[in-house]
């Protein structure tokens, strides 16, 4: 399909505002102006049809099952879109909160922030939360900055952060971007053992970043002992909330001894991922870390009025221009109000149920490296299929032909030909059964007709794309 | 139970297949000592009840005021078709395009967005967006540090103070030297900026139009930056970038911008998007996602995420940044908005906004004691000085239904009487007239 720029017809009219009365040159010298911006000339219908056609080349949760491990692609209810679009929220200028006494013009917004922070604190067992971080990885960076500020304030000289070898790539990247040396700890039989941790845990360690259940979908059985070891070194324990959907109401990370946590709202609390974003990555902290939270904070007065507090001398400062991705966490707030306590617990229970059901039903046809009760996701491997030259990538592409999105593949890095499945709680048993049947058929075809699998996908707008060529030629705009 | 389809009978069947007796058995691995001490959340509610509650909360925000607030975030008209197209669920319920064959819609849109941004900034490469204008600026700074292996960053005080405080937070632990060069009555102090560039300088950061609205040419400054093998970073305002001399023409190595003004509702601060474009020499330092054009086995054109070797999921602690997504849906809004308006529509939007701001400046400065603070050419935003404290005036006028602008004193000591005023194509001459009359009465 031609790009929108190639469809441009000079002189064609789009959605134009009225014509200014004056010329730009009346206000700005000609040598400070440009001639043309290179934006296309199209009719409104040209644009509508172009993007409608593009949308038809996409899989989304509304159209396809999306069992993408560690990404929690559950159904996003529709009513939250309407909430975010309410003019009282969508038209609110952020700077209004910085004028004198202007808290009175954004009481509703401040209430949403304050209540969201309180609910997330209760959900996770943390002492307090901030809604500032604009995505999960941004929450990680914020969390690590809080850890750094804490140690600096206490006069601790600590320059290392430990990440398990199964950690999401963002964990080591966030630690490094915040100025830390990253040390890896090996997992044994899928989890972190106190022995392995002891080998790398010294006085220079500022924090350990963990995901629990981890990226293999397994609960970290040694957690209580690990927490104790880390705190004895005056190091802090960071919780990567990517897998929070597995434990709502079953475990609170604050009660378990974690000091800092970020949540990915698009995962656990069902805000649409938008093809890559926007996200929202609120961060929760234990009591002693509250003074380091980003500026500003929403506080509530005794008369019920809310205000923004900018007075925080120990704060890490500003991580976002205003108060995070307000339009995103509005949806998460409405979602929490809708589900409530019981609904959130039920979501977790059914997510874990679906994952275990799928794991057991696939165990005869695919290798399951850690075949025991899993949490909301599990890892399978395509090693059985490898004898015919079929790899995890091939299975993934064959699934696309069946109308399903593929699982996460080649992550975590510690499993060969890895495929990580996360069905979530919102998919029906028929959908799970249909998917499982297709997986079994792919396993059979891998034996009987491997070339068929290797040639997948054949039903989509393009077949397998040459990624090497893309990197080598590096054509990333229409003009290159 | 909302959004969970399993019937009790199905749950029983599934438990049987798994080989456990109850759902609780699935959580047996979580030891009792780790069970929640409390889980005191409110009871769930119907969709209708939640909608009613949210409408009530929304009504506690005031959005019926005539506003001249800008400060980097502007209320431009968004064509209706933007919302209609963005509501296609194949766009907004999709994930990061890890399976390109099933995500050609998102990937081609990112490729087109990159093209639009590269053209707008007049630089050869652009990424798929980062969180916002402030994080874009900080990521640009880190690009310069990696490229030059130097530590000194020179920042103009006329750069949006919101981005300067963000830069401060992010660089605290990074052993960088941040030098801020004071503005000169709202003008970017090009002479002072030029004078302190040396062989230790990693980057020089300026903004156009600057925070006070004044329009600049940084060509000579950037020449000096390049003579010292440092990196020239320019923060811009994308709506005016459709008419102003480009970062590319001036010789910028990296252009960044807050993309809110192109297609995003103000939404109390987010979600927005950070625009980033750069020269060829810096493209491998650029953070975040990029979509590249390629072919499938039959030679058909398609798109994939590319240059992933820079990214965290491959490079882990050695990645160019920890960012692992982009503001895909916001970027799509921006692209659709730009396509609907086209070159002519964007030029008219910019032209009208500038025209209205100059009309406002004329009307307001005709009031005794109100003087233009922004010297030289300005775009759709300018500052005036009042005979009294701006905070007080804002407070008073807001009671009369008008937010007259942003108080410069919030960020700049010594100009407590300064008021920063923005207009867009939505601002009418009538509104400006009422503003001027009310201000005259209030002083």
Q: Tell me whether residues B18 and A360 touch, CB distance under 8 A.
A: yes
Tell me how crowded residue A257 is: count the other CB atoms within 10 A of its CB. 18
Q: Tell me whether residues B355 and A20 touch, CB distance under 8 A.
A: yes
pLDDT tens digit sequence for B330-345 = 999 999 999 999 999 9
Residue B40's pLDDT band, with cuts at 50, 70 and 90, is very high
- Helix residue spans in B251-327 (DSSP H): 312-315
- Contact call for residues A439 and A369 (beta carbons, < 8 A): no
Give the model's pLDDT for residue A99: 86
Task: Choose the closest CB to B394 out of A99, A122, A330.
Answer: A99
User: Which chain B residues are within 8 Å of A279, Cβ to Cβ?
Assistant: 325
User: Which chain B residues are within 8 Å of A86, Cβ to Cβ?
Assistant: 54-55, 58
Q: How far apart are CA A11 and CA B344, in angstroms?
A: 9
Nearest CA in chain B to A252: B36
Burial label for A19, CB within 10 Å (0-12, 13-18, 19+), is exposed
Task: Give the tokens for residue B393.
Answer: 């005036």
Q: How far apart are CA A59 and CA A45, in angstroms?
A: 23
Q: Does B21 touch chain A (CB under 8 A)?
A: no
Give counts: helices (H), strands (E), chain A.
Answer: 14, 12
User: Which chain B residues are within 8 Å of A31, Cβ to Cβ?
Assistant: 217, 245
- pLDDT (mean) for B77-83: 97
pLDDT tens digit sequence for A235-274 = 999 999 999 999 999 999 999 999 999 999 999 999 999 9
Tell me how crowded residue B38 is: count the other CB atoms within 10 A of its CB. 9
Q: Tell me whether residues B322 and A22 touch, CB distance under 8 A.
A: no
Give the model's pLDDT for residue A228: 97
Q: Tell me whether residues B34 and A48 touch, CB distance under 8 A.
A: no
Task: Give the tokens for residue B339.
Answer: 């396509």
Tell me how crowded residue B371 is: count the other CB atoms within 10 A of its CB. 14
Task: Choose the closest CB to B50 out of A1, A76, A337.
Answer: A337
Q: Tell me whether residues B329 and A466 touch, CB distance under 8 A.
A: no
Burial label for A321, CB within 10 Å (0-12, 13-18, 19+), is buried
Handedness of CA A430, A436, A439, A441 (dihedral sign): negative
Task: Give the tokens for residue A350.
Answer: 């059914």
DSSP state of B417: T
pLDDT tens digit sequence for A27-56 = 999 999 999 999 999 999 999 999 999 999
Main-chain dihedrals φ then ψ at residue A216, nearest 5 degrees: -95, 0
pLDDT tens digit sequence for B120-150 = 999 999 999 999 999 999 999 999 999 999 9
Which residues of B, range 401-420, sit inside 8 Å of A by Cβ?
403, 406-407, 410
Closest approach of A348 to chain B, Cα-based (Å) = 10
Q: Tell me whether residues A328 and B300 touch, CB distance under 8 A.
A: no
* B165, containing H or E segment: helix B161-171
Q: Tell me whether residues A179 and B175 touch, CB distance under 8 A.
A: yes
Which residues of A, range 302-331, sit inside 8 Å of B by Cβ?
316-328, 330
Closest approach of A387 to chain B, Cα-based (Å) = 24
Residue B321's pLDDT band, with cuts at 50, 70 and 90, is confident
Please, what is the average pLDDT of chain A? 96
Residues 6 or more apart whose CB falls under 8 angstroms from that of B56 comprise none
| Residue owning tokens 């000085």 | B385
Q: Does B45 touch chain A (CB under 8 A)?
A: yes
Nearest CA in chain A to B217: A32
Give the model's pLDDT for residue A254: 97
Residue B165's pLDDT band, with cuts at 50, 70 and 90, is very high
pLDDT value at B384 more than 80: yes
Main-chain dihedrals φ then ψ at residue A379, nearest 5 degrees: -110, 130
pLDDT value at B1 more than 80: no
Task: Choose the closest CB to A338 out of B28, B45, B129.
Answer: B45
- Contact call for residues B169 and A133 (beta carbons, < 8 A): no
Peptide bond into A296 cis (omega under 30): yes
Tell me how crowded residue B11 is: count the other CB atoms within 10 A of its CB. 18
Closest approach of B218 to chain A, Cα-based (Å) = 10
Distances (CA, A) of B144 to A318, B162, B232, B278, B353: 21, 21, 9, 11, 34
Peptide bond into B438 cis (omega under 30): no
Closest approach of B229 to chain A, Cα-based (Å) = 24
Task: Give the tokens for residue B301.
Answer: 């054109």
End-to-end CA distance of chain B: 60
pLDDT value at B219 more than 90: yes
Please, what is the average pLDDT of chain B? 96
pLDDT value at A85 more than 80: yes
Closest approach of B199 to chain A, Cα-based (Å) = 24
- Tell me if residue B201 falls in helix, strand or coil: strand
Give the model's pLDDT for residue B313: 84
Q: Tell me whether residues B99 and A469 touch, CB distance under 8 A.
A: no
Handedness of CA B19, B24, B27, B32 (dihedral sign): negative
pLDDT value at A102 more than 80: no
pLDDT value at A101 more than 80: no
Task: Give the tokens for residue A329.
Answer: 């966490």
Which is it for strands B66-67 and B125-126: parallel, antiparallel or unpaired?
A: unpaired
Q: Does A71 touch chain B (CB under 8 A)?
A: yes
Q: Does A68 touch chain B (CB under 8 A)?
A: yes
Q: What is the 3-state secondary structure of B34-66? A: HCCCCCCCCCCCCHHHHHHHHHHHHCCECCCCE
Which is it for strands A297-300 and B381-385: parallel, antiparallel or unpaired?
A: unpaired
Q: Tell me whether residues A326 and B20 touch, CB distance under 8 A.
A: no
Task: Choose the closest CB to A173 out of B132, B312, B342.
Answer: B312
Closest approach of A16 to chain B, Cα-based (Å) = 5
Residue B419's pLDDT band, with cuts at 50, 70 and 90, is very high
Give the model's pLDDT for residue A103: 86
Q: Does B371 touch chain A (CB under 8 A)?
A: no
pLDDT value at B286 more than 80: yes
Which is it for strands A205-210 and A160-164: parallel, antiparallel or unpaired?
A: parallel
Q: How far apart are CA A287 and CA A289, in angstroms?
A: 6
Task: Give the tokens for residue A342.
Answer: 């019981």
Give the model's pLDDT for residue A135: 97
Q: What is the 3-state secondary structure of A102-164? A: HHHHEHHHHHHHHHHHHHHHHHHCCCEEECCCCCHHHHHHHHHHHHHHHHHHHCCCCCEEEEE
Give the model's pLDDT for residue B287: 94
Q: How far apart are CA A180 and CA A159, in angstroms?
A: 5
Tell me how crowded residue A270 is: count the other CB atoms within 10 A of its CB. 28
Residue A215's pLDDT band, with cuts at 50, 70 and 90, is confident
Give the model's pLDDT for residue A480: 78
pLDDT value at A16 more than 90: no
Residue B199's pLDDT band, with cuts at 50, 70 and 90, is very high
Give the model's pLDDT for residue A166: 85
- pLDDT (mean) for A139-148: 98
Give the model's pLDDT for residue B315: 86
| CA angle at A397 for the pair A393 and A401, rounded to the nearest 5° | 165
Which is it for strands B201-208 and B231-236: parallel, antiparallel or unpaired?
A: parallel
Residues 6 or more apart whose CB falls under 8 angstroms from that of A273 comprise A71, A73, A266, A279, B93, B94, B95, B96
Residue B307's pLDDT band, with cuts at 50, 70 and 90, is confident
Nearest CA in chain B to A427: B5
Burial label for B228, CB within 10 Å (0-12, 13-18, 19+), is middle
Q: Tell me whether residues A17 and B342 touch, CB distance under 8 A.
A: no
Nearest to A132 by CA among A286, A287, A310: A310
Strands (E), B297-361: 301-305
Which is it for strands A205-210 and A181-185: parallel, antiparallel or unpaired?
A: unpaired
pLDDT value at B266 more than 90: yes
User: pTM above 0.80?
Assistant: yes
Q: Tell me whether residues B119 and A479 touch, CB distance under 8 A.
A: yes
């Amino acid at each position: 399909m031609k790009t929108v720029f190639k469809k441009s017809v000079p002189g064609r009219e789009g959605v134009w505002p009225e014509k200014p009365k004056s010329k730009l040159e009346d206000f700005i010298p000609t040598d400070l102006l440009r001639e043309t911006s290179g934006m296309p000339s199209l009719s409104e219908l040209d644009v509508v049809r172009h993007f409608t056609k593009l949308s038809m080349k996409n899989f989304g949760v509304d159209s396809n099952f999306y069992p993408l491990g560690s990404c929690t692609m559950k159904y996003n209810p529709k009513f939250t879109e309407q909430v975010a679009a309410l003019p009282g929220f969508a038209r609110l200028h952020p700077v209004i909160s910085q004028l004198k006494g202007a808290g009175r013009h954004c009481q509703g917004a401040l209430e949403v922030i304050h209540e969201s922070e309180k609910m997330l604190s209760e959900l996770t067992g943390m002492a307090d939360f901030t809604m500032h971080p604009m995505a999960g990885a941004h929450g990680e960076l914020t969390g690590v900055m809080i850890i750094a500020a804490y140690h600096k304030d206490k006069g601790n000289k600590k320059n290392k952060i430990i990440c398990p070898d199964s950690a999401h790539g963002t964990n080591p990247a966030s630690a490094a971007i915040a100025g830390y040396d990253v040390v890896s700890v090996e997992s044994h039989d899928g989890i972190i053992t106190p022995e392995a941790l002891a080998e790398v845990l010294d006085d220079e360690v500022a924090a350990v970043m963990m995901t629990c259940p981890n990226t293999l979908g397994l609960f970290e059985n040694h957690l209580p002992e690990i927490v104790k070891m880390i705190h004895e070194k005056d190091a802090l324990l960071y919780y990567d909330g990517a897998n929070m959907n597995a434990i709502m109401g079953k475990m609170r990370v604050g009660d378990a001894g974690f000091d800092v946590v970020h949540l990915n709202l698009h995962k656990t609390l069902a805000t649409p991922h938008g093809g890559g974003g926007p996200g929202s990555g609120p961060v929760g902290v234990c009591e002693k870390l509250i003074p380091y939270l980003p500026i500003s904070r929403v506080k509530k007065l005794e008369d019920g009025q809310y205000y923004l507090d900018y007075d925080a001398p120990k704060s890490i400062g500003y991580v976002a221009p205003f108060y995070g991705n307000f339009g995103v966490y509005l949806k998460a707030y409405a979602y929490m109000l809708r589900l409530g306590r019981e609904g959130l617990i039920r979501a977790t229970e059914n997510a874990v149920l679906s994952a275990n059901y799928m794991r057991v039903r696939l165990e005869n046809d695919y290798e399951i490296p850690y075949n025991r009760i899993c949490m909301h996701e599990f890892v399978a491997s395509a090693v059985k299929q490898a004898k015919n030259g079929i790899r995890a990538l091939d299975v993934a592409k064959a699934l696309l032909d069946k109308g399903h999105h593929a699982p996460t593949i080649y992550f975590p890095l510690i499993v060969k030909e890895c495929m990580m499945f996360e069905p979530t709680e919102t998919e029906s048993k028929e959908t799970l059964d249909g998917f499982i049947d297709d997986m079994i058929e792919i396993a059979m075809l891998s034996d009987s007709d491997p070339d068929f699998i290797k040639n997948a996908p054949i039903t989509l707008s393009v077949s397998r794309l040459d990624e090497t060529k893309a990197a080598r030629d590096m054509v990333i705009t229409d003009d290159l | 139970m909302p959004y969970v389809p399993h019937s009790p009978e199905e749950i029983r069947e599934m438990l049987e297949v798994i080989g456990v007796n109850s759902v609780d058995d699935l959580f047996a691995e979580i030891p009792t000592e780790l069970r929640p001490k409390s889980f005191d959340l409110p009871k769930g509610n119907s969709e209708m009840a939640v909608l009613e509650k949210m409408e009530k909360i929304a009504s506690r925000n005031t959005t019926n005021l005539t506003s001249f607030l800008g400060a980097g975030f502007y209320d431009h008209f968004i064509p209706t078709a933007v919302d209609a197209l963005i509501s296609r669920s194949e766009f907004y319920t999709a994930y990061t395009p890890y399976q390109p064959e099933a995500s050609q819609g998102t990937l081609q849109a990112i490729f087109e967005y990159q093209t639009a941004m590269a053209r707008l900034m007049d630089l050869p490469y652009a990424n798929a967006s980062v969180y916002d204008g402030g994080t874009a600026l900080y990521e640009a700074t880190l690009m310069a540090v990696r490229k030059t292996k130097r530590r000194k960053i020179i920042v103009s005080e006329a750069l949006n103070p919101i981005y300067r405080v963000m830069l401060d937070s992010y660089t605290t632990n990074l052993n960088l030297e941040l030098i801020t060069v004071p503005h000169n009555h709202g003008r970017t102090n090009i002479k002072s900026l030029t004078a302190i560039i040396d062989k230790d300088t990693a980057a020089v950061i300026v903004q156009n139009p600057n925070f006070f609205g004044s329009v600049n040419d940084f060509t000579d400054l950037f020449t000096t930056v390049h003579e010292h093998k440092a990196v020239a970073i320019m923060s811009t305002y994308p709506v005016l970038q459709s008419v102003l001399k480009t970062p590319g023409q001036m010789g910028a190595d990296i252009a960044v911008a807050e993309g809110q003004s192109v297609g995003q509702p103000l939404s109390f601060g987010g979600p927005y998007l950070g625009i980033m474009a750069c020269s060829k020499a810096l493209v491998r330092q650029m953070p975040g996602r990029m979509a590249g054009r390629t072919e499938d086995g039959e030679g058909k054109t398609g798109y994939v995420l590319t240059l992933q070797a820079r990214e965290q999921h491959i490079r882990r602690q050695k990645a160019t940044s920890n960012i692992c997504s982009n503001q895909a849906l916001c970027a799509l809004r921006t692209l659709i908005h730009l396509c609907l308006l086209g070159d002519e529509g964007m030029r008219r939007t910019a032209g009208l906004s500038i025209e209205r701001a100059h009309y406002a400046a004329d009307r307001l400065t005709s009031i005794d004691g109100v003087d233009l603070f922004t010297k030289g050419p300005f775009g759709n935003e300018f500052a005036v000085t009042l005979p009294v404290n701006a905070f007080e005036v804002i407070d008073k006028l807001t009671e009369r239904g008008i937010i007259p602008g942003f108080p410069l004193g919030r960020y700049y000591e010594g100009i407590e009487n300064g008021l920063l005023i923005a207009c867009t194509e939505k601002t009418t001459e009538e509104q400006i007239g009422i503003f001027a009359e009310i201000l005259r009465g209030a002083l």
